[in-house]
């Protein structure tokens, strides 16, 4: 298996898809660098990995801050001597109808979901170029394929992640890999960021009815990573069977 021994940095690693991915990759022998804004959750995941023999370090990281991501990537390279994979997973979903004019929420989604991915590229691309290898795994969403009322800005950020990732793949050359993973409804705490109470209640109801576990997305990420160096899984869409 090609995951064993790889250095993988994961943003949004304190819960949900990021946590599930860290646990799965640790089982398969990866060395992990975990980043998130929540220090308590981040420390808990790192401690859980260490307790089971995993090799992991953690750093509080706000992906909307370019300096944070630069330091996060540098920590991985300095600690382990290289960085094989950057999983840009951090994201928020404070959805609402346009008439609510929740402009602060719009800005937050652009800052985290979109600029966070760009800042990750800016931090890791020079490292990957110097090494001559590297893999970007950028988390988008099935919302990037289907816009629904109330989710327009969120979907816009995820469409942009797909476009940016595909452009990066075309420019990356034969030594770098770029993968887009687009999850559908997943059982995570994404609703916590929703400030519109009606929208939060509806999405929580749908999540509880049909959502898949975050492990399903983690397996898709691991599949993309666990390929020969000359094979690039361009995009994976993974959703619960009950999702339209």
From 154, 161, 191, 239, active-site residue:
154
* Cβ contact 184:239 at 8 Å: yes
> DSSP strand E in 23-96: where?
31-36, 55-60, 85-88
- What is each CA distance from 37 to 69, 90, 92, in whole angstroms? 12, 9, 12
For the record, the structure tokens of 190 come out as 């994404």
CA–CA distance, 119 with 123 (Å, rounded to integer): 6
Could you read off the pLDDT of 107-164 as tens digits, one per residue? Answer: 999 999 999 999 999 999 999 999 999 999 999 999 999 999 999 999 999 999 999 9
Bridge partners, residue 31, by sequence? 7, 55
Could you read off the pLDDT of 57-75 as tens digits, one per residue? Answer: 999 999 999 999 999 999 9
pLDDT (mean) for 204-214: 90
Could you read off the pLDDT of 81-116 as tens digits, one per residue? Answer: 999 999 999 999 999 999 999 999 999 999 999 999
Q: What residue spans define the domains of the chain?
A: 7-233
Pick the CATH number of 7-233 from 3.30.450.20, 1.20.140.10, 1.10.150.120, 3.40.50.720: 3.40.50.720
154 belongs to the catalytic site: yes
User: What average pLDDT is seen over the chain?
Assistant: 95
pLDDT computed for residue 192 by the predictor: 80
Beta-carbon count within 10 A of 110 CB: 16
């Amino acid at each position: 298996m090609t995951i064993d021994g790889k250095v993988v940095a994961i943003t949004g690693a304190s819960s949900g898809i990021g946590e599930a991915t860290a646990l799965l990759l640790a089982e398969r022998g990866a060395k992990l660098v975990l980043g998130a804004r929540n220090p308590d959750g981040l420390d808990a995941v790192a401690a859980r990995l260490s307790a089971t023999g995993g090799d992991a370090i953690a750093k509080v990281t706000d992906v909307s801050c370019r300096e944070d991501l630069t330091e996060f990537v540098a920590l991985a390279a300095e600690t382990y001597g290289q960085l094989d994979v950057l999983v840009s997973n951090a994201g928020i979903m404070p959805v609402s109808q346009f008439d609510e004019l929740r402009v602060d929420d719009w800005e937050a989604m652009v800052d985290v979901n979109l600029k966070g991915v760009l800042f990750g590229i800016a931090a890791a691309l020079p490292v990957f170029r110097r090494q001559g290898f590297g893999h970007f795994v950028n988390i988008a969403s099935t919302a990037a394929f289907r816009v629904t009322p109330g989710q327009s800005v969120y979907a816009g950020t995820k469409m942009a992640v797909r476009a940016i990732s595909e452009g990066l793949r075309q420019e990356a050359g034969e030594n770098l890999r770029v993968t887009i993973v687009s999850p559908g409804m997943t059982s995570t705490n994404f609703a916590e960021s929703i400030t519109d109470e009606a929208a939060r209640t509806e999405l929580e109801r749908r999540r509880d009815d049909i959502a898949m576990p975050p492990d399903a997305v983690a397996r898709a990420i691991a599949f993309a990573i666990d390929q020969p160096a000359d094979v690039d899984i361009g995009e994976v869409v993974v959703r619960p069977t009950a999702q339209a």
